[in-house]
């Protein structure tokens, strides 16, 4: 995450991580160095890759030179603007409390009104989550200590242990689109051949996981309400991340006690459960469409490129301006993956001023809904395909 981890933080060396559908090797290394913001090539090595500039393709350029090229383009947009950051927090926290309180008062009118008000309330919870996201990347405040403090309390509001999420999300940025590193901070994706090698129960489990009702409906609630309370899939040696989990849980327990002593637990649950469901569903969908589209990017580790993954494997979700504001411009995801140190309030400016960043996969809301049928990476056609197409391809072999 833009190098904000400070000293070298290592993952569990030589530990096999049992993901839902496959085992993955978590290696010992610095979790993420942003080659644009931190001035280093990915992995500290110069690999021969294609340049990300679609207008002037320079094949055979070393990775470090590509880093310098993108550093010149993206560097001016990085760094926090304290006034804009504080304004975003103020215009998110205050409306959240207003809508939440209105939803609570609406209980005396009718639960239907509480459910209606849950939608804008969820929108501001999502916006706080994305501000927390920027805090984790070190792009929202110049001081990382301030960012960590704010990020923790925003994590309490969004039911997300800040340091735990920050580290797993850093792993996502460091390995997005890398077939050799899957299963941590991603929507689980397997190849067509891996799918056919599974047992009947293994294929059934994966199909259930990728079903929109499970992935979006149950998945969002499961992650935010349950898994974030005890993330069993991370190493015990992640001391700070586990401490973040327990501190967040303690803060949430204190809030529940306070709610029980004031408005009552039943009223609090009636208000917040629909907010949580809406936030989880839309939030998971947003994360899904950022990387799960037909012509996305997946390559074996030896052929993987940080810059290609950012440009080809991250979408530009085109949203109406009000929705783009609520989602803190996270839909401009390809720029975010090229340099996570650019705060959300500069992503649109960066996109508008650099034509070379505009030739990427654009997705509308309708396109994003249609991508939910895609589930398997076909290494032959280099596309994400549906189960139906995979079955058709298998029948023609």
Per residue in 209-258, pLDDT tens? 999 999 998 999 999 999 999 999 888 889 999 999 999 999 999 999 99
Residues with Cβ within 8 Å of residue 342, at least 6 apart in sequence: 74, 77, 78, 139, 335, 336, 350
How confident is the model over 117-153, as pLDDT tens digits? 999 999 999 999 999 999 999 999 999 999 999 999 9
How confident is the model over 350-369, as pLDDT tens digits? 999 999 999 999 999 999 99
Q: In sequence order, what DSSP letters do the residues of 356-386 get, joined into one string?
A: GGSSS-EE-HHHHHHGGGEEEEETTTTEEEE
* Run of H or E residues at 219: helix 219-221
pLDDT of residue 45: 36
* Residue 184 reports pLDDT greater than 90: no
pLDDT of residue 272: 97
**What is d(CA 30, CA 28) in angstroms, rounded to the nearest whole number?**
7
Domain extents for the chain? 15-395
Residue the block writes with tokens 């139906």? 388
What value, to the nearest 5°, has the Cα angle with vertex 328 and ends 327 and 333?
A: 90
Strand pairing class (61-62; 48-49): antiparallel
How confident is the model over 100-126, as pLDDT tens digits? 999 999 999 999 999 999 999 999 999
**What is d(CA 245, CA 222) in angstroms, rounded to the nearest whole number?**
16
Residue 17: pLDDT band (50, 70, 90) is: very low
């Amino acid at each position: 995450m833009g190098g904000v981890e400070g000293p070298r933080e290592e993952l569990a060396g030589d530990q096999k991580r049992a993901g839902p559908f496959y085992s993955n090797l978590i290696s010992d290394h610095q979790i993420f160095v942003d080659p644009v913001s931190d001035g280093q090539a990915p992995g500290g090595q110069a690999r021969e890759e294609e340049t990300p500039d679609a207008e002037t393709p320079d094949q055979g350029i070393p990775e470090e030179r590509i880093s310098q090229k993108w550093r010149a383009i993206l560097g001016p947009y990085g760094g926090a603007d304290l006034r804009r950051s504080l304004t975003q927090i103020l215009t998110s926290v205050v409306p959240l409390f207003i809508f939440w309180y209105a939803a609570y008062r609406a209980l005396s009118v009718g639960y239907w009104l509480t459910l209606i008000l849950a939608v804008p309330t969820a929108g501001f919870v999502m916006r706080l989550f994305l501000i927390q996201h920027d805090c984790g990347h070190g792009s929202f405040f110049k001081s990382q200590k301030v960012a960590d403090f704010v990020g923790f309390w925003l994590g309490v509001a969004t039911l997300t242990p800040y340091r735990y999420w920050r580290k797993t999300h850093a792993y996502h940025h460091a390995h997005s689109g890398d077939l050799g590193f899957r299963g941590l901070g991603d929507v689980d994706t397997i190849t067509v051949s891996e799918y056919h090698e599974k047992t009947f129960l293994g294929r059934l489990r994966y199909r259930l996981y990728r079903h929109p009702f499970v992935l979006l409906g149950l998945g969002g609630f499961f992650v935010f309400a349950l898994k974030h309370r005890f993330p069993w899939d991370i190493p015990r040696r992640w001391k700070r991340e586990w401490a973040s989990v327990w501190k967040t849980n303690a803060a949430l327990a204190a809030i529940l006690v306070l709610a029980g002593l004031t408005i009552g637990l039943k009223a609090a649950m009636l208000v917040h459960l629909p907010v949580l469901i809406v936030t989880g569903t839309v939030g998971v969908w947003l994360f899904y469409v950022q990387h799960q589209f037909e012509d996305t990017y997946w390559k074996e580790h030896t052929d993987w490129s940080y810059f290609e993954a950012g440009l080809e494997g991250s979408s530009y979700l085109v949203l109406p301006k009000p929705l783009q504001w609520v989602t803190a411009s996270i839909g401009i995801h390809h720029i975010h993956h090229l340099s996570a140190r650019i705060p959300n309030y500069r992503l649109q400016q960066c996109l508008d001023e650099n034509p070379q960043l505009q030739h990427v996969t654009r997705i509308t809301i309708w396109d994003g809904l249609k991508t939910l049928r895609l589930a398997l990476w076909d290494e032959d056609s280099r596309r994400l395909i549906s189960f139906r197409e995979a079955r058709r391809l298998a029948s023609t072999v």
